[in-house]
Chains A and B, each alone.
Chain A
Amino acid sequence: MSLTYEKLIDKYEPVLGLEVHVELGTKSKMFCGCSTVFGAEPNTQTCPVCLGLPGALPVVNAKAIEYTIAIGLALNCSIAPFSRFARKNYFYPDMPKNFQTSQYDEPICFGGYLDVKVDTDEGVKEFRIEIERVHMEEDTGKSLHMGGATGRIHGADYSLLDYNRAGIPLVEIVTKPVAGTGKYAPEVARAYVSELRDILRSLGVSDVKMEQGSLRCDANVSLRLIGAEKLGTRSETKNVNSLRSVERAVRSEMLRHAALLEKGERVIQETRHFHEDTGDTTPGRSKEQAEDYRYFPEPDLVPVAPAKDWIEKIRATLPEKPSARRTRLQESWQVPDKEMAAMINADVLDQVEQTVNLGADPTRARSWWLGEIARIANERELPASSLPITPNDVAEVVALIGKGELTDKLARQVVEGVINGEGRPREIIEKRGIKVVSDDSALMAAIVNSIKAQPEVAEKVRGGHIPAAGALIGAVMKETKGQADAAKVRELLLKHLGQA
């Protein structure tokens, strides 16, 4: 019998383990000078080193080590005074060398933590996620599975390999088992990946695009009876490609494990694949046969022993922590928690901050990025940050409204124009002939016309029924093609009808 989620958490405790892989944003690969640019034509960014041709020798990219140390420091890790690369041996065509250069028992960084906040029934609660290790490795090539009915590996006739990605520096961040999150396990998992992504972005070490695979999360989930010491058997759900999917995948695995356990069956230790469309997982490779990677120290690379002053130099350049920055911005803008969360969810915090730095009022800046711009972004199913509108544009629009040169309504037209690529705000105002009608006599003419057209409405207003004025104001706005300042029209109209 399967359990509801509520029943499940009364009986079982979920334990998580999260492995995040992040592709570093270096110009060149981990061990060779090939470019790392995303989306290039297949096999245009390869060389004897990353193709594993005989005799080719790898040399470590110093920037990749620097970035990895920065990540370790930002996650409160210790930096190993001496660490080595190791060969992880496996025969699979995604690595032409037949091994992946990784790290085994000597990672560069170890023993850190990251605190994340989650909204719970008892208010916002902080959870500490212990970091086991941060180690360096290299990414693999990309396979296309050809033929077969589904285009997936099962039933495929053959595979095609592109090694542009093989050898791109990859950092793996591994947590210790995360217990004690109870029913919030899915939310904690999401909050962790989200916070980690913000940190990596603030460090400037990666473009952290989950949809392009530069940030990937594997979620290990197990259940144990509440009070039990021993961990349950875990499943490992691979390549969960969005924050929302992290949350859904953990939840779906918790439910699947519980259903098995309730039936008296056992959970199989295996890799599973998350499906965005259905929200559930299907089995991948079974790990019943213990993995045997025969790790051994990489003889082609010398150990890494970062000097103390190098580490301290990196520490000194660490940016403000995203969590600290959020607190600072929220205080300075005087924004309620909910609005702050909305900005973070819409991923427009940077944009709002820059708009404010350009002189816009925080409330105004926020309402543009969360309002009209977010609306258009939603419509087009794009993140707001990828629309062709800049904080500069928004600050200018806000300033023009402040000067009375635009009404809110006209400003929306301008913003839409900018997003449609018609130019910068000034250009659009000029091109479209947008102008606020503030000339009182022009407005008065329109007001008189509106009263002539709807005398009975005007009578109501004269009689003290102010809300009726809306119909007249609407008519004036229509006549002036929306270019009048509605507040101004209202003021003139009411005065004219003896109500102000």
Chain B
Amino acid sequence: MSKITRADVANLARLARIEMTEDELDHLSSELSVILDAVARVQEVAGKDVPPTSHPLPMTNVFREDENRPSLTPDEALSGAPAKEEQRFKVPKILGEE
């Protein structure tokens, strides 16, 4: 049985820049454990003859030629931005990192 601790959730929240209350941390650690358990059951089904995979189809080398395709216009690109300035996405200041 997988166990996600409260500290795990707090750490993930920090990495994801999500502020969480104490209640939420408690709540989520048990909820995420349940989800992980469900996913872990897949491992019971997969026998030793099934290699780990990162893709549902056993394919390799799906490439495209190095050719240009039309881009979005800046207006289209920025249409979903909560804030913009000088044709750029405007974001809050980023603290303590560079």
CB within 8 Å of B: which residues of A? 26-28, 32-35, 41-48, 51, 53, 59-65, 82, 84, 89-93, 96, 144-146, 153-154, 156-163, 271, 273, 284-285, 292, 294, 296-299, 301-306
Contact = CB atoms under 8 A, between A and B. Distances in A.
Interface residues of B, number: 39
B88 A297 contact: no
Interface string B58-97: 0111111111111111100110100001111111111011
Contacts of B59: 302
Contacts of A153: 93-94, 97-98
Contacts of A33: 64, 67-71
28 contacts: A28-B66, A33-B64, A43-B88, A44-B71, A45-B71, A59-B62, A61-B66, A63-B65, A64-B66, A90-B15, A91-B15, A91-B16, A92-B97, A93-B91, A153-B93, A156-B93, A159-B91, A160-B86, A161-B90, A162-B87, A271-B98, A284-B98, A292-B15, A294-B15, A297-B54, A302-B55, A304-B61, A306-B61
Contacts of A159: 90-94
Given A28-B69, A47-B72, A292 B11 contact: yes
Contacts of B71: 33-35, 44-47
B54 A84 contact: yes
Contacts of B93: 145, 153, 156-159
Given A158-B93, A285-B97, A42 B88 contact: yes
A53 B79 CA distance: 12
Contacts of B46: none
A48 B80 CA distance: 11
Q: Is the interface of B mostly helix, strand, loop or mixed?
A: loop
A43 B73 CA distance: 8
B55 to A, nearest CB: 5
Contacts of B85: 146, 160
A284 B98 CA distance: 6
Contact of B68 (A34, A53, A294): A34
A171 to B, nearest CB: 15
A41 B74 contact: yes
